[in-house]
Structure 1
Amino acid sequence: MSDMQNPPQISRSARIDALRGIAVFGILLVNVWSFIWGFESLRYGVLPATSSIFDVLAVAFTAFFAEQKFYPIFAFLFGAGFVLVTRSLKQQFGRWSDAERLYRRRLKWLLGCGVVHGTAIWFGDILTVYAIAGFFVLAGLTGARLRSVRNALRVWSIIFFALLLGNFLLGLQMVSPSALQEQAINTVAAVEAGRVVYTKGNLLSIGIQRLGDYASVTTQSLFILPHIALLFLLGAMSVRLGWLTQPARHITFWRRVQWTGFALGIPFNLAWATMVVAEAIDPLHPSLYSFLLYAWLPVGGTCLAAAYVATILLAKETAGQWLDNWLAPVGKMALTHYLMQSLLCSILLQGFGFGLGAIWPPAAWLALAFAIMLLQLFSSRWWLARHAQGPVETLWRRYINKGITDADKRD
Structure 2
Amino acid sequence: MLAPDLARGVMLLLIALAHSRMLHAGGLALTEPAGGGPVDIVVQWLLTSAVDGRAAPLFGLLFGYGLVQMTRRHSGPGGDPARARRLIRRRGAWLVVFGAAHVVLLYSGDVIGAYGVFALMFAGAVAWSGRRLWSVAAVALAFGVACYTVLQLVAGTGGAPHVGATLLDSALLRAATLPVVPFAALSVLPSVLIGIWAGRLRVLEQPERYRPVLRRAALIGFPVAVLGAQPVALQAAGVWAPDTVAGGIAALALFSATGIAGGPAFAAAIALVALRIGDRRGPVTNALVACGRRSMTFYLAQSPVWLVVTEPSLLGLGGQMSAAAAAGVAVATWVVTVLIADVLGRTGRRGPAEALLRRLTYRGRA
Mark yes or no: TM-score above 0.5. Answer: yes
What corresponds to 1:221 in structure 2? 184
In 1, Cα distance between the equivalents of 2:3 and 2:89?
26
What corresponds to 2:4 in structure 1? 16
In 2, Cα distance between the equivalents of 1:37 and 1:202?
21
Instruction: Answer yes or no: is 1:140 the counterpart of 2:131.
Output: no
> Residue type matched to 1:394 in 2?
A
Instruction: Answer yes or no: is 1:70 the counterpart of 2:55.
Output: yes
What's the RMSD between the two structures over aligned residues? 3.3
User: 1:75 Cα deviation (Å)?
Assistant: 0.7
- 1:207-233 deviation digits (Å, cap 9, x = unpaired): 233233x247536525xx1x5222222
In 1, Cα distance between the equivalents of 2:313 and 2:57?
32
5 Å matches for 1:340-355? 340-355=301-316
Unpaired runs of 5+ residues, structure 2, are none
Contact 2:191 2:263 in 1 (8 A): no
> Residue type matched to 1:331 in 2?
G
In structure 2, relative to structure 1, the CA distance for the partners of 1:312 and 1:377 (3 Å cut) is: same
Q: Say which is worse superposed, 15-24 or 358-367, in terms of deviation.
A: 358-367
Unpaired runs of 5+ residues, structure 1, are 1-11, 176-182
Match of 2:210 among 239, 250, 254: 250
SS of match in other structure, 1:152: helix
- 1:319-338 deviation digits (Å, cap 9, x = unpaired): 98357423211111111111
Query: How many residues in Structure 1 have an aligned counterpart in Structure 2?
Result: 361
What corresponds to 1:3 in structure 2? none
In 1, Cα distance between the equivalents of 2:297 and 2:205?
24
What corresponds to 1:32 in structure 2? 20
What corresponds to 1:126 in structure 2? 111
What corresponds to 1:178 in structure 2? none
What corresponds to 1:304 in structure 2? 262
Contact 1:357 1:365 in 2 (8 A): no
Instruction: Answer yes or no: is 1:190 the counterpart of 2:158.
Output: yes
In 1, Cα distance between the equivalents of 2:246 and 2:170?
34
Instruction: Answer yes or no: is 1:206 the counterpart of 2:166.
Output: no
In structure 2, relative to structure 1, the CA distance for the partners of 1:109 and 1:163 (3 Å cut) is: closer
> Residue type matched to 2:256 in 1?
P
SS of match in other structure, 1:292: helix
What corresponds to 1:317 in structure 2? 276
- 1:331-370 deviation digits (Å, cap 9, x = unpaired): 1111111111111211133223222336533321211001
> Residue type matched to 2:354 in 1?
E
User: 1:43 Cα deviation (Å)?
Assistant: 4.5
User: 1:162 Cα deviation (Å)?
Assistant: 5.0
Contact 1:124 1:217 in 2 (8 A): no
In structure 2, relative to structure 1, the CA distance for the partners of 1:70 and 1:263 (3 Å cut) is: closer
What corresponds to 1:58 in structure 2? 43
- 1:128-159 deviation digits (Å, cap 9, x = unpaired): 1111122222x124xx44xx231431430342
SS of match in other structure, 1:360: coil
> Residue type matched to 2:233 in 1?
A
In structure 2, relative to structure 1, the CA distance for the partners of 1:54 and 1:162 (3 Å cut) is: closer
Match of 1:85 among 53, 63, 70: 70
Contact 1:202 1:351 in 2 (8 A): yes
SS of match in other structure, 1:135: helix
- 1:182-227 deviation digits (Å, cap 9, x = unpaired): x98x856634xx36x73x8321332233233x247536525xx1x5
In 1, Cα distance between the equivalents of 2:308 and 2:77?
42
Contact 2:57 2:263 in 1 (8 A): yes
Instruction: Answer yes or no: is 1:268 the counterpart of 2:246.
Output: no
If each structure's helix is expressed as a fraction of its own residues, which one has the higher value? 1
> Residue type matched to 2:41 in 1?
V
What corresponds to 2:135 in structure 1? 155
Larger Rg: 1
What corresponds to 1:114 in structure 2? 99
User: 1:282 Cα deviation (Å)?
Assistant: 8.1
In 1, Cα distance between the equivalents of 2:227 and 2:133?
27
- 1:302-328 deviation digits (Å, cap 9, x = unpaired): 223322221111125349835742321
SS of match in other structure, 2:324: helix
In structure 2, relative to structure 1, the CA distance for the partners of 1:128 and 1:161 (3 Å cut) is: closer
SS of match in other structure, 2:315: coil
In 1, Cα distance between the equivalents of 2:241 and 2:253?
21
User: 1:262 Cα deviation (Å)?
Assistant: 2.8
Match of 1:364 among 325, 334, 354: 325
